[in-house]
Amino acid sequence: MSTAVLDVPGGLPAALLHELEQLPPARAAALRVLQVVDDPSSGGTEVADAAASDPALTTRMLRMANSPYYGLSGRVASTAFAVTVLGFATVRSLAAVSAAGFVGDGDLPAGFWARGTAAAAGTTLVARRVGADPAEGFCAGILHDLGTALLYRHDPGVHGALLARATAEEPVERLEQALYGGTHASLCADVLGSWHFPERLCTAIGRHHEPPSAGAAPLRRALQGGLALAALADRLPGPTDLDVGAALEAALVPGGERRSLVAQVRRGGDELLSALRA
């Protein structure tokens, strides 16, 4: 870890937020997409125009829109159509990954898209059960691990060793809090908040490692339920502190439906992953 990072008040999470504020021109197009999506007067054409100057982002959008997950394989040939197929929430989530500086798949830590796509598929499936918006659920699932990617990129040796050392009894967020003064979840919430993502989505991501509860906000219940389904689908490698049973109970997923939902998460997550990594 560099001394410059340690000298920033607030530690590494604050340093990363500062770094992201110094957005280089190469990521300006993705930030423009975030700004356009945030404008209630914007339509699909404006969003597509904003994304057009970011080849990596438009490629991801087109790949995802043409994936079997959306049932339109080979039929989405324009960015404008892709925006219509994906919806603003999904475009916003992909733009956030690009704005964070992850242009190619090689820039991301191993398993980032596998975890995100499985979580997105699972959260979308359970969102309506708890009164959450499925589109926001998809976005929360895709982005829930963005903080891990940011910490890993900034401090690969130390954070990589931290990930390898984590166990269910000593989870990664506890190790991160002790080392950095913040966790990947809180960092992600802060980053998305600085980009004007809905507060309920930032809160759901920031608190997704807390114990599941039927009294929690709907989007957090949906995200934790989606992560639980992804864990049962073997799409969340490594130790986890998530109480799968409690998360599914809070997400109103009865035992008799879980096998079918897990199969859907496995299939949907794999379809999305294949498209993003094609």
The structure tokens listed for 275 are 């498209």
pTM of the model: 0.89
Q: What is the full per-residue pLDDT of the chain (278 aa) written as tens digits?
A: 333 333 334 566 677 776 666 555 557 888 899 999 988 899 999 999 999 888 889 999 999 999 999 999 999 999 999 999 999 999 999 999 988 888 766 677 888 899 999 999 999 999 999 999 999 999 999 999 999 998 888 888 888 898 889 887 888 899 999 888 889 999 999 989 988 899 999 999 999 999 999 999 999 999 999 999 999 999 987 777 899 999 999 999 999 999 999 999 999 999 999 988 75
Query: What's residue 11's pLDDT?
Result: 62
Query: What's residue 2's pLDDT?
Result: 36
Of 117, 100, 113, 129, the C-alpha closest to 230 is: 117
Provide the angle, in degrees to the nearest 10, between the axes of the packed helices 28-38 and 88-99.
Answer: 150
Can you tell me the distance from the alpha carbon of 177 to that of 184, in angstroms, rounded to the nearest whole number? 9
Query: What's residue 19's pLDDT?
Result: 65
Query: What's residue 3's pLDDT?
Result: 33
29 touches 48 (CB < 8 A):
no
What is the identity of the amino acid at 72? L
- List of domains in the chain: 22-103 (no CATH), 108-278 (1.10.3210.10)
Query: What's residue 20's pLDDT?
Result: 67
Query: What's residue 6's pLDDT?
Result: 32
